[in-house]
Amino acid sequence: MTEVNLDLAVQHGLTPEEYEKIKVLIGRNPNFTELGIFSAMWNEHCSYKSSRVWLGTLPTKNDRVIQGPGENAGVIDIDDDDVAIFKIESHNHPSFIEPYQGAATGVGGILRDVFTMGARPIANLNAIRFGSPDHPKTKHLLNGVVAGIAGYGNCIGVPTVGGEVEFDSCYDGNILVNAMNIGLAKKDKVFYSIASGVGNPVIYVGSKTGRDGIHGASMASQEFDLDSESKKPTVQVGDPFAEKLLLEACLELMQTDTIVSIQDMGAAGLTSSSVEMASKGNIGIELDLNKVPCRETGMTPYEMMLSESQERMLIVLKTGKEKEAEKIFKKWDLDFSIIGILTDSKNLTLKYDNKTVCDVPISALADEAPKYEREWIEIKKPEHIDLEKKLDNINLEQTIKNLLSHPNQADKSWVWEQYDHMVMCDTAQFPGGDAAVIRVHGNNKKAIAATVDCTPRYCNSHPYTGGMQAVCETYRNLCSVGAEPIAITNCLNFGNPEKPEIMGQFVGVIKGMTEACKKLNYPVISGNVSLYNETNGIGINPTPTIGGVGLIKDISKVKSSRFKNKNNNIYIIGKTIGHLEQSILCYDLLHLKKGPPPSIDLNDELKNGEAIRLIINENLIESCHDISSGGLILCLLEMSIASQIGFELNTIKKSLDRVKFLFGEDQSRYIVEVDDQNKNSFEKKLADLNIYFKNIGKTSEKINIDDDLKFDLQELFELNKEWFYKYNN
């Protein structure tokens, strides 16, 4: 038997202080299996030991929230006894090590989080970030990740309907793969993971357990180094066809009166699923590991408990319902094994070969896990920089072309065309717009809108403003299609929290998010924290990816970001100051990366968003697009290229003011298209609401800015389209 000592504990990612705490909590030295279990439950990925204190400050409730953080996913009320269930999670480190399987199993994991709660998944979204396109690994990682997302989502038959792709050298050694899923269920058919009922049987269902993914959660809680490639065995291997069977079997079982609680085996596998269920129910659990279905011979208790093999569930059934449940899983050709019972011991007890190989208090693994109040440094807003001399003589024509052809602004069709975004036949708004729109199946009017967003350069410059902006951006995207924003899920990607400046980034982002969520009545109901996104001590830009979900009550009124007709009026809603620092123009095109991000007025965000939803509901506009990265000009060009309709734009002729007007990234703004018939009603409505608006031009045959900047629409279309295809061919 392996001797457990401090050196071995440190190898398992535990600190000397944590190792000593374990010995105190259980009153002895842990054995090898117990050490592995503690290392899994106490790592950053499972315990949130560096983030729990601050996560508790986020708003988590409003009138539509049924279940907030603490379950597999969050639940919101969408009327008619329907609920939407959703969550976003990271699979960053696995995707860097093995991009296809890392991304694929990221999709598989988030799907299980949602259907575990009784929902049929209806939509996938993702936010993926890579290093510089010139980095030698980027093309390989991009192709592998996109193929992995497509391979899993397409095979299981859930549409991938939206997301974002970004390149930045800060991700050279640590890419980000954040996967989101939304599902639908009936309010009275939501299932939870709280175990209850001493004597109730504990059931293992799904695929067999192998040695893949052992220490996967621990690996995700560590920095990378030059030996990261050697960690491939810790990356799980997914089987979407097995997951499809598991999905259908679980949903069928959920139509019976058999389930007490259910939990997927995600990070830390059988360990986390059993401990979390028992902990939430304040109950004990005893497992016979000889009954765990294994696909490899000679697996030890340590390996079985730490394996992260995919497509597995743990279920607590009502006593006497075992045969009824087994029949369903056998029909779907899935393993079904009674591996344990609930006890009154409040311990995790593991048996193997008629011996007790683990017997530790559940509370020691869960409630007593470390919770650190890390030292942090407040990140102050940077001073403004003087841009006048750098921008006074800018070549606007070439700059606009460079903007459209830059990898971060280039058309992403190459990516999303690999995803089946139409399977299930309920996708009403294709990828490429502000927010995806998915019909509620069987309802002719109601739909769900969803989006994922973050602007890491803002967060890196000033985390507080960046966190606020990320929330507001999703809010605007939902408003732009006419949806009522309801709630968010978040995936908080940061570097090493043991560094006070990194922890300061985290705290700043949380504070900014909190302010925005409170003001917009737009709470956080689920999410994930991914820390230690560093390689050789170099961390990523703070990247709090926000997934926003909203309700559309009448799908016939949904708006897109495509211009609809020529000779319509173009209005800007929201004031333009012309903030250029941290803009795409400065950051990506001119490589001027200093200065603060644009400030945010939450009152404007709220009232402008409400106004947009009102004028959409009253059919006063033809199209709508929020102004974000790239400013006014990119917003207009995206609307134009998508529709093949040009525009005539009136700006401010003075050189620098013109640049600010075109490229400034002031927040709380939208572009809307209004036909002449609705012009007067539109203007009166906004005036009555005290909303700032301005007529800035007309839709037309060609693109014409102030009569001195003229562009061929087809040329711009090709410039925007070609980057991804050239890069990957």
Q: Are strands 524-530 and 484-493 parallel, antiparallel or unpaired?
A: parallel
Cα gap 317→3, rounded to integer Å: 37
Maximum alpha-carbon separation in the chain: 86
Q: How many CB atoms lie within 10 A of CB 331?
A: 12
Cα gap 621→564, rounded to integer Å: 10
3-state secondary structure labels for all residues of 168-214: CHHHCCCCEEEEEEEEEEEHHHCCCCCCCCCCCEEEEEECCECCCCC
DSSP labels for 273-296? HHHHHHHHHT-EEEEEGGGS-BSS
* Closest by Cα among 446, 458, 452 to 488: 452
Q: How many CB atoms lie within 10 A of CB 688?
A: 9
Q: For helices 16-26 and 32-41, what crossing angle results, to 10°?
A: 120
The catalytic position among 12, 45, 93, 421 is: 45
Cα gap 621→679, rounded to integer Å: 9
- Angle (CA) 561-563-568 rounded to 5° is 135
Q: Which residues, including other chains, have CB under 8 Å from residue 478's CB and lie 6 or more apart?
A: 434, 435, 449, 451, 484, 485, 548, 549, 550
The catalytic position among 12, 91, 421, 462 is: 91
Tell me if residue 45 is catalytic.
yes
Tokens of 711: 């562009």
Cα gap 522→322, rounded to integer Å: 42
Q: How many CB atoms lie within 10 A of CB 84?
A: 29
Sequence letter at residue 646: G
Q: Is 595 left (phi over 0), alpha (psi -120 to 50) or beta?
A: left
DSSP labels for 122-141? EEEEEEEEES-TTSTTHHHH
Question: Active-site residues: which are they?
Answer: 45, 91
